[in-house]
């Protein structure tokens, strides 16, 4: 063994020993989130919490014609390793071309305009759906799909991905693939002459532009072969999950939208001065996009670390799994926040709920205060506190 190889071997052995000491004698499979979530994130290991805010709509993004995509990945917001997001606008006649994401599922919420999608799954089932503002779609990881503006008005929607690295590793476009495949191979694959591929794009198109699509979807080449589980959910057509004095919440997870096994979506409305109370999520990271209003978001990271960010319309926030946080409307108008979680099951523990779940003597001992003080605290979960408090 050479000196160089010996050094590499010893370094690897030391790393394995340290890992075993930290996590126990078990093997971590590639992509095992239960293992990776135990590994300290260098971005969160400092004496101060890093920024968890990014001005998404003020970023440059990718622009072709009047269509654009602006992204927030770990490149733009290093803390956001578990979730990435995109703000996409399509002009009439524009299409986000046929593509798939090898490393992330795609969840979307339509803000403006109408969108038509097609998606195909590994069993060959294909679905075409039309979406309006307030509607949601979910495409599982690796499922081929396209998005196109429907009608004569531009469309705007927010995409959420369950992998903060998705942009760098995850997008495979059909024009890019065909443009770099020999024509002889394509001809053999499809059973058509090589000349059929003359004039095809040589590089990725990304946004294709053509005529405004027909109001009624056209029949697929294979005919209609619909999947057993739909990719569409009309989120804001449903009554709110819960209504409070200071706001309301819509929530869609896998219990309501079965195909959405890795992403949960929430629309949170807060009245002026209202507070989504201090809480944490045991099972997921939280990604926030401010649709309307001005909010103050706090994050608590243990060992006295606490950070507050002020966010406005078009800004993105990110809270890692298990970190305490709150969202407060600090403006004089109602605020609306789109929130995504990288789990198909919603879990949260609210601070008021935690207090209410403990006996008075436990609270008195913990805080060195008389038990009578805690008799004034809420006896149930607050969730949203109005401007004057619960």
- The pLDDT value recorded for residue 388 is 85
pLDDT attached to residue 5: 43
In a domain, 40, yes or no: no
Blockwise average pLDDT, block size 10, the chain, 390 residues: 42 38 36 52 89 97 96 96 98 98 97 98 98 98 98 98 91 97 98 97 96 95 95 98 97 98 98 98 98 98 96 98 98 98 98 98 98 97 91
pLDDT for 43 equals 84
Q: Which of 71, 89, 97, 99 is catalytic?
A: 99
Quick one: tokens of 43?
């971005």
Q: Is 101 a catalytic residue?
A: yes
* Catalytic residue check, 99: yes
Residue 209 annotated in active site: no
- Rounded Cα distance between 143 and 9, Å, is 40
Instruction: Examine the domain organization and report whether 153 and 213 are in the same domain.
Output: yes
- Contact at 8 Å (CB) between 145 and 118? yes
Using the 3D structure, point to which of 212, 233, 254 is the last residue of a domain.
Answer: 233
Active site residue 145: yes
CA angle 315, 48, 267 (to 5 degrees): 30
* Contact criterion met (CB below 8 Å) for 336 and 258: no
| Domain limit, last residue, from 174, 209, 233 | 233
Q: What is the pTM of this model?
A: 0.89
CA distance 187 to 120: 23
Quick check: is 181 in a domain? yes
Q: Which long-range contacts (CB under 8 A, 24 or more apart) does 59-65 make?
A: 61/87, 62/206, 64/206, 64/207, 64/209, 65/91, 65/94, 65/207, 65/209
Tell me the per-residue pLDDT of 128-180, one tens digit each, with 9 for 90 and over.
999 999 999 999 999 999 999 999 999 999 999 999 999 887 899 999 999 99
Measured CA to CA, the distance from residue 77 to residue 138 in angstroms comes to: 24
Respond yes or no: is residue 279 known to be catalytic.
Answer: no
- Whether residue 214 is contained in a domain is answered as yes
pLDDT recorded at residue 37:
55
**Which residues span the domain enclosing 377?**
238-385
Residue of 71, 89, 97, 106 with catalytic role: 106
Residues 229 and 260 grouped into a single domain = no
Selecting among 101, 231, 279, 336, the annotated active-site residue is 101
- CA–CA separation, 27 and 22 (whole Å): 12
Catalytic pick from 75, 112, 153, 168? Answer: 168
Angle (CA) 50 52 57, round 5° = 135
**Whole-angstrom distance, CA of residue 327 vs CA of residue 291:** 14
Out of 89, 116, 145, 325, the active site residue is 145
Q: What's the total number of domains in the chain?
A: 2
Q: Check: CB of residue 118 under 8 Å from CB of residue 219.
A: no
- Answer yes or no: do 111 and 177 share one domain: yes
Q: Are residues 228 and 89 in the same domain?
A: yes
Could you tell me if residue 31 is inside a domain?
no
Do residues 147 and 95 make contact, with C-beta atoms less than 8 angstroms apart? yes
Same domain, residue pair 340 and 201:
no
What confidence tens digit (pLDDT) does each residue in 275-326 have? 999 999 999 999 999 999 999 999 999 999 999 999 999 999 999 999 999 9
- Return the closest-CA partner of residue 58 out of 316, 237, 373: 316
Note whether residue 34 is domain-resident.
no
Q: Using CA atoms in the order 71, 77, 79, 80, what is the torsion angle rounded to 10 degrees?
A: 0
- Catalytic residue selected from 89, 96, 143, 279: 96
Strand partners of residue 138:
107
Active site residue 48: no
- Is 176 in the same domain as 92? yes
- My answer on whether 183 and 248 are in the same domain is no
Contacts of 46 (CB under 8 A, 6+ apart): none
Q: What is the DSSP letter of 122?
A: T
Q: Would residue 194 count as lying in a domain?
A: yes
pLDDT at residue 234 in the model: 98
Q: Are residues 211 and 244 in the same domain?
A: no
Q: Examine residue 2 and state whether it is found in any structural domain, yes or no.
A: no
* Final residue before a domain boundary, out of 233, 252, 268: 233
CATH number at residue 354: 2.60.120.10
- Measured in residues, the chain has a length of 390
């Amino acid at each position: 063994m050479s000196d160089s190889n010996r050094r590499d071997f010893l370094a690897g052995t030391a790393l394995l020993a340290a890992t075993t000491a930290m996590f126990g004698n078990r093997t971590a499979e590639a992509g095992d989130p239960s293992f990776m979530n135990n590994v300290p994130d260098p971005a969160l290991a400092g004496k101060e919490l890093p920024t968890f805010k990014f001005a998404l709509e003020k970023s440059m993004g990718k622009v072709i014609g009047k269509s654009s995509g602006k992204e927030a990945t770990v490149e733009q917001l290093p803390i956001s390793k578990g979730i990435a997001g995109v703000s996409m606008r399509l002009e009439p006649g524009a299409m986000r071309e046929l593509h798939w994401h090898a490393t992330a599922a795609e969840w979307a919420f339509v803000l403006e305009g109408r969108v038509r999608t097609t998606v195909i799954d590994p069993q060959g089932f294909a679905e075409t759906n039309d979406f309006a503002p307030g509607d949601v779609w979910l495409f599982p990881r690796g499922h081929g799909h396209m998005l196109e503006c429907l009608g004569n008005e531009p469309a705007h929607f927010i995409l959420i991905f369950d992998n903060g690295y998705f942009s760098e590793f995850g997008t495979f476009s059909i024009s890019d693939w065909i443009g770099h495949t020999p024509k002889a191979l394509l001809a053999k694959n499809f059973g058509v002459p090589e000349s059929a591929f003359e004039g095809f794009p040589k590089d990725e198109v990304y946004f294709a532009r053509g005529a405004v699509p027909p109001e009624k979807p056209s029949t697929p080449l294979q005919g209609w072969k619909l999947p057993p589980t739909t990719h569409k959910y009309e989120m804001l057509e449903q009554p709110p999950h819960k209504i409070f004095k200071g706001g309301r919440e819509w929530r869609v997870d896998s219990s309501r939208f079965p195909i959405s096994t890795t992403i949960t979506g929430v629309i949170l409305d807060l009245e002026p001065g209202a507070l989504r109370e201090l809480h944490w999520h045991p099972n997921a990271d939280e990604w926030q996009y401010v649709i309307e209003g001005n909010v103050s978001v706090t994050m608590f990271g243990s060992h006295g670390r606490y950070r507050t960010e002020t966010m406005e319309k078009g800004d993105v926030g990110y809270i890692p799994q298990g970190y305490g946080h709150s969202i407060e409307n600090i403006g004089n108008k109602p605020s609306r926040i789109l929130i995504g979680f990288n789990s198909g099951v919603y879990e949260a523990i609210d601070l008021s709920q935690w207090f209410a779940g403990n006996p008075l003597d436990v609270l008195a001992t913990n805080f060195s205060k008389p038990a009578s003080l805690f008799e004034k605290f809420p006896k149930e979960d607050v969730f949203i506190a109005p401007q004057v408090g619960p």
